[in-house]
A and B are shown apart, each in its own frame.
Chain A
Amino acid sequence: MSIKIESIYINTLSIAAPGLVGLEQALPVLKGEKKWQNSELPKLVPQLLPANERRRVTNYIKLALHVADEANIKNKALAAIFASSNGDLYITDHICKTLNMDTKYISPTQFHNSVHNAPSGYWAIAANSPTPSTSLSTGECSFSSGLLEAVTQVLCQKQDVLFVAYDFPAIDSPFNKISDVSEAFATAFVLSLHKTESSYAAIKINVNNDKNEKSLCANTSLNELQNSNPIAESLPLLEAFCLKKSTTVFLPYLNNSKLKIEIAHD
């Protein structure tokens, strides 16, 4: 029943993180031409979302929609995978505080925003996309499991897939002290069986049970960012996309195994 693992093309790329907002700012850093410098993430405004919905979304949702919009340049209704480790900790904090008040009246908007698939639901509304969307988590290796799910959808359903991964820090909440997310980080790209003029790379992916070490950033100034957010574990892969260098990247996966990603540029 198993199908042959084919090369999959990465046809668009978007990134949003402190000091890496948009490709213009991010490319020189990801190519190793410039050092990464931490600077506050500007307010992101998801233009494609209708104004009435825009008022309801949190910074976590805005971050996801921003990279999804930027990666989906042709604005096609693509099947989409949304990966995030922690979900929206701002919403969790607010709701849990409310539940400890005298009247446990949760805001209805906060409740529907609390579902892990809130960003994907808003995305479907914004992009008017009737295609399926999956929201998932595997904690610190959420990027890898999301990428694997995206790859299976490309291979099995022979369709382009939009992959969006993001986590946002829990500012001003007790989570701040215990969470593994200290900086915002999001990335998105379209995976396809078909090469285009703007393809970044071709990848082949497999789970590697040898205890390889995870890949580190070639640009060592990014090491701090890589450790600041589970989704930032993708940085060595994003560097390989931008450097146009054929290489192999190992990203953290379940049970200390690694996702082995062979990257080719042809």
Chain B
Amino acid sequence: MFEHINPIATAVFGALFVLVSALGFMAARWRQAPLGTLHEWGLGGGRFGTLVSWFLIGGDLYTAYTFIAVPALLFGAGAMGFFAVPYTILIYPFAFLVLPRLWVEAREHGHVTSADFVRQRFGSPMLALAVACTGLIATMPYIALQLIGIQVVVAALGFPTRGFVGELPLLVSFLILAAYTYKSGLRAPALIAIVKDVLIYITIIAAIIIIPAQLGGYDKIFAGLPPDKLLLKPAVRNDFAGMSAYATLALGSALALFLYPHSLTAVLSADSVKTVKRNMMLLPAYSLLLGLIALLGFMAIAARVDKLPQYAEYFAQYKGNFAVPALFLESFPDWFAGVALAALAIGALVPAAIMSIAAANLFTRNIYREFVRPDCTSEQETQMAQIVSLVVKVGAVAFVLALPTQYAIQLQLLGGIWIIQTLPAVILALYMRFDPRALLAGWIVGMAWGTWAAAAQNFASSTHPLVLFGVKVPGYAALYALALNLSVSVLLSLVLRKRRNQSSPSRRPEAKLRA
């Protein structure tokens, strides 16, 4: 059963994993403060400076799944997968404008989640509930994908991929993760993120130097690509083809990123506006890393790893997601393959921890305290969040073990379409006046249309074949759904405001309404 295990790589992997787990438990005592409030447990007390925030946000946004799935996309679909690079370029100018304002608002009112902002701005529990639920359903499959990342890595170490023994490493790693997240809250991933990022940087720098040298240089890697993978499908008359798809994927993903609960959690844990702004300037370092990692997909094509008989079974099971692990196993000595695979696995733990904390914050703050026990003390609130963070992780493990991998991937694709529907209420409301009823209506329309658009593609692609005046404009369904949502929100807000102005001459701006 264990005859395929790579002993050296597994030993190195195991040692690094133990180190990281110890750090996770020790984190509770780091910058000690009573962990009895949600602000302390769920936001690390909001005391992280520029450097720790940089590691935390970077470790949070650039997940293990990114490191496996983006190259897998280039491996399978070619140039289209490179949209991850413009995506991560477009994030930061936008975030530099928006996040400092959100941070200040959060500090002023003690906000922990995106739904907190909405609740306070509009005084509408229903709209806040919609935002909270969107965050929850978008985060859950994202956590499941991190697990799939770990599964792929464990398989690469040579563990059996099926049966209880095959599932054991995943169960154990998630049990440990659950335990230290419960105990240390956001401090645990913050500390682990430092180790993770150092390992990832070492791995990638080695990879982009060693592997191209083995393959005969970058020109040879690119020269061996089929033309339809090398570039995007150019626009022709009546069809924007790859052009609009690429641009809308980049733009839509960039607008959506900081709406994800885990992204916001990491940002709100920063100690000042200065820290937030500096990070928007410094985080592109990770984007460069991601761009280079993406190219591993092409290196895997050049190395023909999917044609090697020893990996055939894994490619059958994990498809392109096995491209990067296979490339590492092929190109690195065993001990360094252990380091590289550990970097990927630990890279899954950091975001999984932050995601489960963010989901717990959302549930506790915006559902439990809002609808179930409005009079709960802050200790009870924190305890509830700790328990929910456990439930969320157990749920994700059960999901991954019980259902085909494909479901998690499809749900995550839907998650991107859903989460962007909270953009008007959470971010655009900073700049425009909306009526909460209009926002809710827009949200419903966006969610419904976006889900339909993904279903029409059998949940296999998030690109919608839009036809405008006889011209095909294929594009990211999330962005098209957002356009619908926004039209409804803006128009209905205008209508509702006009009607109220007619009925009562002394108008009150709806944004000033407090609960």
Does B associate with A?
A: no
Residues of A within 8 A of B (CB): none
B contacts, CB < 8 Å to A: none
